[in-house]
Chains A and B, each alone.
Chain A
Amino acid sequence: MREDEKMKMTFKLLAVAIALGLAPLSADARVKIDITQGNVEPMPIAVPEFIAAAGGNPELAKNITEVVKADLDRSGLFSIIDPRAYIEDVANLNVRPRFADWRLINAQVLVVAEVKSLADGRIDVATRVWDVYADEQLGAVSFKTPADNWRRAAHKVADFVYKALTGEEGYFDTRIVFVHETGPKAKRVKQLMIMDQDGANPAPLTDGLNYQVLTPRFSPTQQQITYMALYDKKPGQIFLFNIATGEQEQLGTFRGMTFAPRFSPDGSQVLMAMERNGNSDVFRMDLATRALTRLTDNPGIDVSPTMSPDGRRIAFASDRGGSQQIYVMEANGQNQKRITFGEGRYMTPVWSPRGDLIAFTRQYQGRFYIGVIRPDGQGERLLTESYLDEGPTWSPNGRVLMFHREQSPGDGPSLWSVDLTGRNLRRVRTPADASDPAWSPLLP
Chain B
Amino acid sequence: MNFSAVFKAAGVAGLVLLAACASSKGPDVVANGDTGSTGGTRGSAAAPGSQEDLEQNAGHRVFFGYNEYTLTPQAQATLARQAAWLKQYPNVRIMLAGNCDERGTREYNLALGARRAEAARAYLVSLGVDGSRVQTVSYGKERPLDTRSTEDAWSVNRNATTTITSVGS
Q: Which positions in A face B, CB cutoff 8 Å?
A: 183-189, 210, 212, 214-215, 228, 230-236, 256-257, 259-260, 273, 275, 277-280, 301, 303-304, 317, 319, 324, 345, 347-348, 361, 363, 366, 387-388, 390-391, 409-410, 436
Contact = CB atoms under 8 A, between A and B. Distances in A.
Interface of B is mostly: mixed
Interface string B126-140: 000000000111111
Most buried by A among B1, B95, B107: B107
Contact of A390 (B6, B105, B135, B145): B105
B103 interface: yes
Contacts of A260: 107, 110
Contacts of A387: 149
Contacts of A236: 110, 137-138
Contacts of B135: 234
B89 interface: no
A162 to B, nearest CB: 31
6 contacts: A186-B143, A236-B138, A273-B111, A304-B107, A410-B149, A436-B106
A319 B108 CA distance: 9
Contacts of B150: 409
Given A257-B114, A275-B114, A215 B95 contact: no
Contact of B111 (A183, A184, A277, A301): A301
B8 A257 contact: no
A186 B143 CA distance: 6
Interface residues of B, number: 42
Given A184-B147, A232-B6, 14 more contacts: A186-B8, A186-B144, A215-B107, A231-B137, A233-B95, A233-B97, A235-B137, A236-B110, A279-B118, A317-B107, A347-B104, A347-B108, A348-B107, A391-B105
Contacts of B145: 186
Contact of A301 (B95, B115, B149, B165): B115
Contact of A188 (B118, B142, B149): B142
A278 B115 contact: yes
Nearest to B122: A278
Contacts of A259: 107, 110-111
Contacts of B118: 277-279
B119 interface: yes
A260 B118 CA distance: 19
Contact of A257 (B1, B121, B138): B138
Contact of A186 (B7, B108, B163): B7
A183 B104 contact: no
A391 B110 contact: no
A288 B149 CA distance: 44
B144 A280 contact: no
A260 B160 CA distance: 22
A366 B1 CA distance: 38
B111 A186 contact: no
A86 to B, nearest CB: 48
A230 B110 CA distance: 10
B42 interface: no
A189 B1 CA distance: 14
Contacts of A391: 105-106
A366 B112 CA distance: 18
B139 A230 contact: yes
